[in-house]
């Protein structure tokens, strides 16, 4: 039963530990007061455990009707005690909340975290209309670019709130993001996260092909798990077939979703490849970057992205102007040659980001 102290976290597509919607929610649940009742509304097929007795996973959403279910869930929860938090929110959630509300939503009743928003004239007009009717909705976003869209639309309660980061602790299989106390020697190149075109997966395959052509034997570990619902972006299947045909002997592919300990282990002694599309990630937070630095893992980034600005800020990696394989390899060889130096800088970056991106900031806003 919901009480005034209950926090309802709504994440319809959350099924497993795959993706950063899981680490986002996990960081928030772990930082909170154990006495705070949390109801996590997730996929009907969710297989999740958060450890705390205060967190109850509500297996509710079916994939194809999740928007209809969201409407009815919002309608019920708006009329019940407790607070609603949509942890990966967008324009559709604001529309559904507006339709589901019986009147003006009370202050401190509803909060949405908008990770990224791609505005157009139609959406902006819709946001202005929603803001006039529902001025009390709290909108949180990770960057000023995201939040400014909602402020300009009339949401006076829109504010920048740091993207919650997994808590870093000494090496421990149960930890969110375990690290070793001692420096690690270079082990492998790493592509972490789901295989996606906008995250430069095709360019990573190009690199593996180039390594094979040059007769090099630099170890490479690639996560090739699909996004939500086991679906790949257009073109990824062809990239995976091309990767298999290269037959690079120092390649290790991780196609399955990893648990927390196995995921954290990927970053030990690694160089993280983030050849992301600069236009898509110009001011878009990358959870992989936050995880990499928290684990003391240097990053190679394409220029013009938020990731590149983090690399530059901490001097914890290198930035390439083009993602062609020869250019990328040249940068990687420089990083490998000076790996202990860049690893130390990545750890220092992690120290800062653990403070700046603590989930405590978001939790205090929601609990308050």
3-state DSSP of 173-235: CCCCEEECCCCCCCCEEEECCCCCHHHCHHHHHHHHHHHHHCCCCCCEEEECCCCHHHCCCCC
Q: Kindly report the number of other CB atoms within 10 A of residue 338's CB atom.
A: 13
Contact 274, 300 (CB under 8 A): yes
Report d(CA 298, CA 42) in Å as an integer: 33
Residue-level pLDDT at 129: 97
Residue 87 lies in a domain: yes
Question: Are 187 and 125 part of one and the same domain?
Answer: no
- In SS3 terms, 299-342 reads as EEEECCCHHHHHHHHHCCEEEECCCCHHHHHHHHHHHHHCHHHH
Question: Are 76 and 179 part of one and the same domain?
Answer: no
Residue 2 lies in a domain: no
Contact 270, 296 (CB under 8 A): no
Closest-CA residue to 197 (of 224, 221, 228): 224
Question: Are 159 and 209 part of one and the same domain?
Answer: no
| Helices and strands counted in the chain (H then E) | 13, 15
Report d(CA 7, CA 366) in Å as an integer: 8
Question: Are 149 and 178 part of one and the same domain?
Answer: no
Residue-level pLDDT at 20: 66
Q: Which DSSP state fits 150? A: H
Report d(CA 56, CA 40) in Å as an integer: 6
Query: For residue 209, what are its two tokens?
Result: 């092909």
Question: Are 228 and 240 part of one and the same domain?
Answer: yes
Question: Are 97 and 238 part of one and the same domain?
Answer: no
Report d(CA 100, CA 102) in Å as an integer: 7
Mean pLDDT by 10 residues, the chain (368 residues): 87 79 86 88 85 86 94 97 96 97 96 94 96 97 95 97 77 49 88 91 97 98 74 81 95 84 91 96 92 96 97 98 97 98 96 93 91
Question: Are 38 and 155 part of one and the same domain?
Answer: yes
Contact 268, 187 (CB under 8 A): yes
Report d(CA 40, CA 10) in Å as an integer: 6
Query: For residue 220, what are its two tokens?
Result: 């490479």
Question: Are 321 and 214 part of one and the same domain?
Answer: yes
Domain range for 205: 168-355
Backbone angles phi, psi at 158, to 5 degrees: -80, 135
Report d(CA 182, CA 165) in Å as an integer: 22
3-state helix, strand, coil in the chain (%, to 5): 40, 15, 40
Residue 265 lies in a domain: yes
Report d(CA 246, CA 236) in Å as an integer: 15
Query: For residue 224, what are its two tokens?
Result: 């090739």
Query: For residue 132, what are its two tokens?
Result: 């006039």
Question: Are 350 and 363 part of one and the same domain?
Answer: no
What secondary structure does DSSP assign to 55-114, as a single string?
EEEEEEE-GGGHHHHHHHHHHHHHTSSSEEEESS--HHHHHHHHHH-SSSPPTTSEEEE-
Report d(CA 108, CA 159) in Å as an integer: 14
Question: Are 160 and 17 part of one and the same domain?
Answer: yes
What's 106's domain CATH number?
3.40.50.2000
Residue 206 lies in a domain: yes
Domain count, the chain: 2
Residue-level pLDDT at 136: 97
């Amino acid at each position: 039963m919901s009480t005034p102290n209950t926090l309802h976290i709504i994440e319809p597509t959350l099924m497993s530990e795959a993706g950063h919607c899981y680490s986002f929610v996990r960081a928030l649940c772990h930082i909170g007061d154990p006495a705070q009742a949390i109801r996590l509304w997730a996929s009907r097929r969710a297989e999740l455990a958060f450890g705390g007795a205060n967190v109850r996973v509500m297996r509710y959403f079916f994939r194809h009707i999740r928007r209809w279910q969201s409407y009815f869930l919002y309608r019920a929860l708006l009329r019940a005690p407790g607070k609603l938090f949509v942890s990966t929110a967008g324009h559709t959630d604001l529309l559904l909340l507006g339709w589901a509300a019986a009147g003006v939503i009370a202050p401190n009743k509803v909060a949405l975290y908008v990770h990224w928003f791609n505005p157009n004239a139609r959406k902006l007009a819709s946001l202005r209309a929603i803001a006039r009717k529902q001025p009390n909705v709290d909108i949180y976003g990770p960057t000023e670019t995201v939040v400014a869209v909602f402020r300009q639309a009339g949401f006076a309660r829109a504010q920048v709130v740091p993207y919650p980061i997994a808590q870093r602790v000494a090496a421990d299989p149960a930890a969110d993001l375990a690290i070793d106390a001692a420096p690690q020697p270079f082990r492998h190149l790493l592509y972490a996260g789901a295989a996606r075109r906008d995250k430069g997966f095709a360019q990573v395959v190009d690199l593996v092909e180039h390594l094979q052509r040059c007769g090099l034997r630099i170890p490479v570990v690639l996560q090739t798990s699909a996004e939500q619902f086991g679906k790949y972006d257009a073109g990824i299947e062809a990239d995976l077939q091309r990767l298999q045909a290269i037959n690079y002997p120092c390649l290790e592919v991780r196609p399955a979703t990893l648990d927390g300990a196995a995921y954290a282990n990927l970053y030990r002694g690694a160089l993280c490849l983030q050849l992301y599309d600069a236009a898509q990630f110009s001011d878009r937070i990358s959870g992989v970057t936050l995880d990499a630095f928290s684990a003391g893992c240097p990053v190679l980034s394409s220029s013009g992205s938020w990731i590149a600005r983090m690399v530059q800020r901490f001097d914890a990696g290198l930035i390439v102007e083009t993602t062609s394989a020869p250019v990328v390899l040249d940068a990687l060889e420089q990083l490998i040659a000076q790996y202990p130096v860049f690893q130390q800088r990545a750890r220092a970056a992690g120290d800062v980001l653990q403070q700046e991106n603590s989930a405590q900031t978001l939790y205090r806003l929601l609990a308050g």
